[in-house]
Amino acid sequence: MIAALAYVPRRTALGRAGVAAASAYLAAFAAVAFAFSHPVVLAADAAAVAIAGILAGTGRALAVSLRFAAVLGVLMIVTNAIASQRGDTILVRGPDLPVVGTVNISAEALAEGGILALRVGIVIAAFAVFTAAVDPDRVLRLLRPVARRSALTATLVVRLVPLAAGDHARLRDAAGLRGPAAAPVSRAAMVRRLVAGSLDRSVDAAATLELRGYGSGVPGRSRRAPRSPVDLGFWLAAGAIVAMSVATLVTNAAAYESYPVIQAELGSLGLALALALPALAAAPAIGRGRR
Protein backbone atom coordinates (compact mmCIF):
# COMPACT_ATOMS: atom_id res chain seq x y z
CA MET A 1 0.00 0.00 0.00
CA ILE A 2 1.38 3.41 -1.00
CA ALA A 3 0.90 6.30 1.41
CA ALA A 4 -1.11 9.24 0.14
CA LEU A 5 1.79 11.68 0.60
CA ALA A 6 4.38 9.43 -1.06
CA TYR A 7 5.81 10.47 -4.40
CA VAL A 8 4.53 8.42 -7.33
CA PRO A 9 5.60 9.10 -10.95
CA ARG A 10 2.60 10.44 -12.83
CA ARG A 11 1.98 11.16 -16.48
CA THR A 12 0.39 14.51 -15.70
CA ALA A 13 1.82 17.86 -16.70
CA LEU A 14 3.03 18.67 -13.18
CA GLY A 15 4.56 15.21 -12.85
CA ARG A 16 6.53 15.70 -16.08
CA ALA A 17 7.56 19.28 -15.32
CA GLY A 18 11.02 20.22 -14.14
CA VAL A 19 11.68 20.65 -10.44
CA ALA A 20 12.33 24.38 -10.64
CA ALA A 21 9.20 25.09 -12.69
CA ALA A 22 6.96 22.93 -10.50
CA SER A 23 8.41 24.46 -7.33
CA ALA A 24 7.90 28.02 -8.57
CA TYR A 25 4.36 27.18 -9.67
CA LEU A 26 3.29 25.76 -6.29
CA ALA A 27 5.29 28.30 -4.29
CA ALA A 28 3.38 31.10 -6.01
CA PHE A 29 0.11 29.89 -4.47
CA ALA A 30 1.74 29.64 -1.03
CA ALA A 31 3.11 33.18 -1.45
CA VAL A 32 -0.38 34.51 -2.23
CA ALA A 33 -1.68 32.88 0.96
CA PHE A 34 1.01 34.63 3.01
CA ALA A 35 0.66 37.99 1.25
CA PHE A 36 -3.12 38.49 1.37
CA SER A 37 -5.78 38.37 4.07
CA HIS A 38 -8.85 39.16 1.99
CA PRO A 39 -11.21 36.15 2.19
CA VAL A 40 -12.14 36.34 -1.50
CA VAL A 41 -8.51 36.16 -2.61
CA LEU A 42 -7.76 33.36 -0.14
CA ALA A 43 -10.82 31.38 -1.26
CA ALA A 44 -9.71 31.74 -4.89
CA ASP A 45 -6.20 30.68 -3.91
CA ALA A 46 -7.57 27.60 -2.12
CA ALA A 47 -9.61 26.71 -5.22
CA ALA A 48 -6.49 27.15 -7.36
CA VAL A 49 -4.45 24.78 -5.18
CA ALA A 50 -7.28 22.23 -5.30
CA ILE A 51 -7.43 22.50 -9.10
CA ALA A 52 -3.66 22.12 -9.38
CA GLY A 53 -3.69 19.07 -7.12
CA ILE A 54 -6.57 17.37 -8.93
CA LEU A 55 -5.05 17.96 -12.36
CA ALA A 56 -1.73 16.66 -11.04
CA GLY A 57 -3.36 13.41 -9.90
CA THR A 58 -2.71 14.04 -6.20
CA GLY A 59 -6.28 13.91 -4.95
CA ARG A 60 -5.43 11.55 -2.08
CA ALA A 61 -2.67 13.86 -0.86
CA LEU A 62 -5.09 16.79 -1.00
CA ALA A 63 -7.67 14.86 1.02
CA VAL A 64 -5.14 13.98 3.72
CA SER A 65 -3.85 17.55 3.92
CA LEU A 66 -7.38 18.96 4.10
CA ARG A 67 -8.31 16.66 6.98
CA PHE A 68 -5.21 17.72 8.88
CA ALA A 69 -5.77 21.39 8.02
CA ALA A 70 -9.41 21.20 9.15
CA VAL A 71 -8.45 19.95 12.61
CA LEU A 72 -5.67 22.51 12.88
CA GLY A 73 -7.97 25.25 11.60
CA VAL A 74 -10.62 24.58 14.24
CA LEU A 75 -7.95 24.76 16.95
CA MET A 76 -6.64 28.04 15.53
CA ILE A 77 -10.11 29.60 15.37
CA VAL A 78 -10.96 28.58 18.95
CA THR A 79 -7.56 29.68 20.26
CA ASN A 80 -7.71 33.06 18.53
CA ALA A 81 -11.27 33.66 19.70
CA ILE A 82 -10.26 33.08 23.32
CA ALA A 83 -6.77 34.58 23.32
CA SER A 84 -7.47 37.70 21.24
CA GLN A 85 -9.58 40.03 23.32
CA ARG A 86 -10.08 42.50 20.50
CA GLY A 87 -12.99 43.47 18.34
CA ASP A 88 -16.07 45.64 18.85
CA THR A 89 -18.73 43.06 17.99
CA ILE A 90 -19.03 40.94 21.13
CA LEU A 91 -20.84 37.68 20.51
CA VAL A 92 -20.28 35.89 23.82
CA ARG A 93 -19.47 37.55 27.12
CA GLY A 94 -17.38 35.11 29.06
CA PRO A 95 -16.62 34.76 32.74
CA ASP A 96 -14.31 36.96 34.79
CA LEU A 97 -11.07 35.11 35.47
CA PRO A 98 -8.73 36.21 38.29
CA VAL A 99 -5.64 36.92 36.18
CA VAL A 100 -6.92 37.15 32.62
CA GLY A 101 -10.02 39.19 33.34
CA THR A 102 -13.20 39.06 31.31
CA VAL A 103 -12.96 36.60 28.41
CA ASN A 104 -15.14 37.79 25.53
CA ILE A 105 -15.52 36.24 22.09
CA SER A 106 -15.92 38.74 19.28
CA ALA A 107 -16.90 38.29 15.66
CA GLU A 108 -13.65 39.96 14.61
CA ALA A 109 -11.56 37.43 16.55
CA LEU A 110 -13.46 34.55 14.93
CA ALA A 111 -12.96 36.09 11.50
CA GLU A 112 -9.25 36.59 12.08
CA GLY A 113 -8.92 33.00 13.25
CA GLY A 114 -10.71 31.83 10.12
CA ILE A 115 -8.34 33.84 7.93
CA LEU A 116 -5.33 32.32 9.68
CA ALA A 117 -6.78 28.83 9.38
CA LEU A 118 -7.51 29.27 5.67
CA ARG A 119 -4.01 30.60 5.07
CA VAL A 120 -2.36 27.67 6.84
CA GLY A 121 -4.62 25.19 5.04
CA ILE A 122 -3.60 26.56 1.65
CA VAL A 123 0.09 26.26 2.44
CA ILE A 124 -0.33 22.71 3.78
CA ALA A 125 -2.27 21.67 0.67
CA ALA A 126 0.31 23.21 -1.66
CA PHE A 127 3.16 21.37 0.04
CA ALA A 128 1.15 18.13 0.00
CA VAL A 129 0.79 18.44 -3.78
CA PHE A 130 4.50 19.19 -4.03
CA THR A 131 5.40 16.13 -1.94
CA ALA A 132 3.22 13.79 -3.99
CA ALA A 133 3.96 15.15 -7.47
CA VAL A 134 7.61 16.30 -7.50
CA ASP A 135 10.45 13.77 -7.51
CA PRO A 136 12.52 14.28 -4.32
CA ASP A 137 15.62 12.89 -6.02
CA ARG A 138 15.44 15.64 -8.63
CA VAL A 139 14.91 18.18 -5.84
CA LEU A 140 18.12 16.94 -4.22
CA ARG A 141 19.93 17.12 -7.57
CA LEU A 142 18.75 20.70 -8.08
CA LEU A 143 19.63 21.99 -4.59
CA ARG A 144 22.77 20.00 -3.90
CA PRO A 145 25.20 22.51 -5.48
CA VAL A 146 23.64 25.30 -3.39
CA ALA A 147 23.08 23.62 -0.01
CA ARG A 148 24.20 20.02 -0.06
CA ARG A 149 23.43 19.11 3.55
CA SER A 150 20.16 21.05 3.74
CA ALA A 151 18.97 19.56 0.45
CA LEU A 152 19.76 16.06 1.67
CA THR A 153 17.90 16.67 4.94
CA ALA A 154 14.85 18.04 3.15
CA THR A 155 14.82 15.13 0.72
CA LEU A 156 15.02 12.58 3.53
CA VAL A 157 12.15 14.27 5.33
CA VAL A 158 10.05 14.24 2.18
CA ARG A 159 10.72 10.52 1.77
CA LEU A 160 10.47 9.38 5.40
CA VAL A 161 7.23 11.16 6.30
CA PRO A 162 5.18 9.15 3.74
CA LEU A 163 6.92 5.98 4.94
CA ALA A 164 5.88 6.73 8.52
CA ALA A 165 2.32 7.32 7.32
CA GLY A 166 2.40 3.97 5.53
CA ASP A 167 3.74 2.25 8.65
CA HIS A 168 0.89 3.74 10.69
CA ALA A 169 -1.68 2.46 8.21
CA ARG A 170 -0.17 -1.03 8.19
CA LEU A 171 0.03 -1.18 11.99
CA ARG A 172 -3.56 -0.01 12.27
CA ASP A 173 -4.74 -2.68 9.81
CA ALA A 174 -2.74 -5.34 11.65
CA ALA A 175 -4.25 -4.28 14.97
CA GLY A 176 -7.72 -4.59 13.48
CA LEU A 177 -7.05 -8.18 12.37
CA ARG A 178 -6.21 -9.42 15.87
CA GLY A 179 -9.80 -10.40 16.54
CA PRO A 180 -12.58 -9.08 18.79
CA ALA A 181 -11.17 -10.75 21.92
CA ALA A 182 -7.82 -8.94 21.71
CA ALA A 183 -7.22 -5.83 23.72
CA PRO A 184 -7.36 -2.61 21.68
CA VAL A 185 -4.06 -1.00 20.79
CA SER A 186 -3.69 2.38 22.47
CA ARG A 187 -2.34 5.44 20.74
CA ALA A 188 0.68 5.48 23.04
CA ALA A 189 1.60 1.95 21.99
CA MET A 190 1.12 2.87 18.33
CA VAL A 191 3.39 5.90 18.74
CA ARG A 192 6.08 3.81 20.44
CA ARG A 193 6.08 1.32 17.59
CA LEU A 194 6.23 4.07 14.99
CA VAL A 195 9.13 5.81 16.77
CA ALA A 196 11.02 2.53 17.14
CA GLY A 197 10.56 1.73 13.45
CA SER A 198 11.60 5.25 12.46
CA LEU A 199 14.77 5.02 14.53
CA ASP A 200 15.68 1.69 12.94
CA ARG A 201 15.07 3.12 9.49
CA SER A 202 17.18 6.21 10.26
CA VAL A 203 20.14 4.02 11.23
CA ASP A 204 19.81 2.06 7.99
CA ALA A 205 19.51 5.30 5.99
CA ALA A 206 22.65 6.73 7.64
CA ALA A 207 24.62 3.56 6.86
CA THR A 208 23.43 3.59 3.26
CA LEU A 209 24.36 7.26 2.80
CA GLU A 210 27.81 6.59 4.24
CA LEU A 211 28.34 3.73 1.80
CA ARG A 212 27.28 5.99 -1.08
CA GLY A 213 29.92 8.54 -0.14
CA TYR A 214 27.84 11.38 1.26
CA GLY A 215 30.36 11.86 4.04
CA SER A 216 33.23 12.43 1.61
CA GLY A 217 34.09 15.54 -0.34
CA VAL A 218 31.89 17.39 -2.79
CA PRO A 219 31.53 15.39 -6.00
CA GLY A 220 32.27 16.75 -9.41
CA ARG A 221 29.81 18.69 -11.49
CA SER A 222 26.81 16.54 -12.36
CA ARG A 223 25.02 16.49 -15.68
CA ARG A 224 22.12 18.91 -15.89
CA ALA A 225 18.73 17.28 -16.37
CA PRO A 226 17.04 17.97 -19.70
CA ARG A 227 14.38 20.66 -19.72
CA SER A 228 10.81 19.44 -19.91
CA PRO A 229 8.61 20.80 -22.73
CA VAL A 230 5.88 21.71 -20.21
CA ASP A 231 8.13 23.93 -18.08
CA LEU A 232 7.30 27.13 -19.94
CA GLY A 233 3.62 26.98 -19.02
CA PHE A 234 4.37 26.60 -15.33
CA TRP A 235 6.97 29.38 -15.39
CA LEU A 236 4.50 31.71 -17.12
CA ALA A 237 1.75 30.87 -14.64
CA ALA A 238 4.04 31.48 -11.65
CA GLY A 239 5.27 34.76 -13.16
CA ALA A 240 1.71 35.94 -13.85
CA ILE A 241 0.63 35.14 -10.29
CA VAL A 242 3.59 36.99 -8.80
CA ALA A 243 3.14 40.01 -11.10
CA MET A 244 -0.58 40.33 -10.39
CA SER A 245 0.00 39.86 -6.66
CA VAL A 246 2.63 42.60 -6.54
CA ALA A 247 0.38 44.98 -8.48
CA THR A 248 -2.52 44.22 -6.15
CA LEU A 249 -0.38 44.80 -3.06
CA VAL A 250 1.05 48.07 -4.38
CA THR A 251 -2.38 49.49 -5.22
CA ASN A 252 -3.94 48.05 -2.03
CA ALA A 253 -6.73 46.59 -4.14
CA ALA A 254 -7.45 43.72 -1.72
CA ALA A 255 -7.39 45.40 1.68
CA TYR A 256 -8.69 43.59 4.73
CA GLU A 257 -8.68 44.39 8.44
CA SER A 258 -10.25 42.36 11.20
CA TYR A 259 -9.82 44.79 14.08
CA PRO A 260 -11.47 46.79 15.54
CA VAL A 261 -14.26 46.03 13.05
CA ILE A 262 -14.16 43.90 9.91
CA GLN A 263 -13.27 46.00 6.86
CA ALA A 264 -12.83 44.43 3.44
CA GLU A 265 -12.29 46.24 0.18
CA LEU A 266 -11.81 44.51 -3.16
CA GLY A 267 -10.78 46.63 -6.11
CA SER A 268 -10.67 45.73 -9.75
CA LEU A 269 -7.11 44.38 -9.53
CA GLY A 270 -7.99 42.28 -6.49
CA LEU A 271 -11.02 40.86 -8.26
CA ALA A 272 -8.93 40.16 -11.34
CA LEU A 273 -6.38 38.31 -9.20
CA ALA A 274 -9.12 36.23 -7.56
CA LEU A 275 -10.57 35.28 -10.94
CA ALA A 276 -7.17 34.59 -12.48
CA LEU A 277 -5.83 32.26 -9.79
CA PRO A 278 -8.00 29.20 -10.66
CA ALA A 279 -7.48 29.84 -14.38
CA LEU A 280 -3.70 30.09 -13.99
CA ALA A 281 -3.71 26.91 -11.92
CA ALA A 282 -5.42 24.97 -14.71
CA ALA A 283 -3.78 26.59 -17.73
CA PRO A 284 -0.38 24.78 -17.68
CA ALA A 285 -1.94 21.36 -17.15
CA ILE A 286 -4.66 21.75 -19.76
CA GLY A 287 -2.76 23.76 -22.32
CA ARG A 288 0.46 21.74 -22.50
CA GLY A 289 -0.25 18.57 -20.57
CA ARG A 290 -2.53 17.02 -23.19
CA ARG A 291 -0.28 17.57 -26.19
pLDDT score of 290: 46
The confidence band for 287, taking pLDDT boundaries of 50, 70 and 90, is low
Q: Is the pLDDT of residue 189 over 80?
A: yes
pLDDT tens, 141-184?
Answer: 777 676 666 666 766 766 777 777 788 888 888 888 877 777 78
Confidence of residue 99 (pLDDT cuts 50, 70, 90): low
pLDDT at 86 over 60: yes
Tens of pLDDT, residues 196-247: 888 888 888 778 777 766 666 555 555 555 667 789 999 999 999 999 999 9
Domain boundaries, the chain: 13-135+231-287
Alpha-carbon torsion angle 136, 137, 141, 144, nearest 10: 70
